[in-house]
Structure 1
């Protein structure tokens, strides 16, 4: 599908690009450290199939934590919300996304929500299948369906880089296994999780997934219900309360749309009933969000009054 370049969007991208110098790429994952911090691009996908863009929207990047909201939707469809939320909570946390602190201090060692690493690892643990390959391929097929792009795959280089440096995630898994929440061997789970985070696509693909969430699980072009509306509602709620790490409250006040970020610099937005957004800007702020991507969303939200509040 063609995506038309848009002058107003381009002007906002150029304004927001000034913020890239205030951030830095996620070099603690070596493969992500190779990104160009000056990159910034956006695609906006409307229900009627129209798409508008600015910047190099064909450049691919890995989903990283954006995959958390998609794997949550997948597991909710397979397992049901009662099963899922017996094992992972629904509450925001003011802690960093990779913190172990709340697991140690809670009476029950249950991750507070599916958007922090401990909760996301629990969700990935719930993906059914007899092998890492089977589980991953089922999730990937779901993502290909949401993006309407059968060529979406994963970066072996990034997955390997993350697997080799995933010491803190292993610690979270062992803690959860000690308390009986994780019931499989840790290395296969880390293998699956790092592959999930390394699924890669471009801004157009990401905006295409965003529109499905925005339209309550319906693919607006085919009319198919790709996920139940209740699943889309739950996921959008988590995007508002927890989607931008421990800056989610400030993001809700300043911008006010459901969104999920990843440390590759991607942001997926789902403006309810209106459109999906895909952004890539790998220079991150101190919390792990795309610094120019957030500025771009702030400009968009103010100009077009997108806040849902």
Structure 2
């Protein structure tokens, strides 16, 4: 059986600082590189040419899905892998990747994306969120990207039961949320403008309010973020859809960050009832109890976190909530309880 071919599809503009690192990471994994360039004026194009990329100029229309779909139309591989320039595919998994892609019963694979945060480079490997995203899918299956920003590939509406998804442990490392980089690129401002444009559409998805909340959270405008989050939750419920777990992760994260512990405790049990195996919610509950000096209750939460671990591919998970962070807080709780008992 011949090996399946992979086309890497990317949208770029002035990415000379990162693009080589990205392309180098995939050079032994992909057979074709499709670059949609929206107007680079630096060395981006020259760097892409070094990796035999096919480069297609594209007039930017402030719509990421449109640009992604233009790239798809140029790809000839059996599979599509999509990345951004500030990402890299973890190397050493090439054989494993090819073996899995021979299985044509799977249409789309979710890959673990490790999103680093912090002020500057080099990154701290302990400061990261893990989230699985649909990054690899079969070409020529009618799959298209949707959304002006935070675009995502979606199966065609007229699909049959043969369209399936699975998870593949081939990590992607994402550096785009490091503050040094976001300030340099003005990414936050651009994102906010595009999301606000989408928000004007009366038929927009409730995800748009979540993305607005996220942008305002990153700016430290917690009240505005909280208001948009509640609007998003309400609109999901209005549509008869259980609000996604990530909304509750951000909501109770904001309440903890702003020391609104009483308000947080009132609602977090309801969120946990919806997502009982979500380690981050138990961790946040533990923080609430810890900060209000209810150390026995906090201890139980952190022990639950260690029991759950942090390998659940359904959720956005802060690294350490099911391991070292929970362990540290557990030790602190035991110490506090020991001190209390000797008084």
Q: Normalising by the residue count of structure 1, what TM-score does the alignment of the two structures yield?
A: 0.30
Higher RCO (C-alpha under 8 Å, 6+ residues apart): 1
Which structure has more helix as a fraction of its residues? 1
Which structure carries more strand by proportion? Answer: 2
Whichever of the two has the greater Rg, that structure is: 2
- What TM-score comes out, normalization by structure 2 length? 0.28
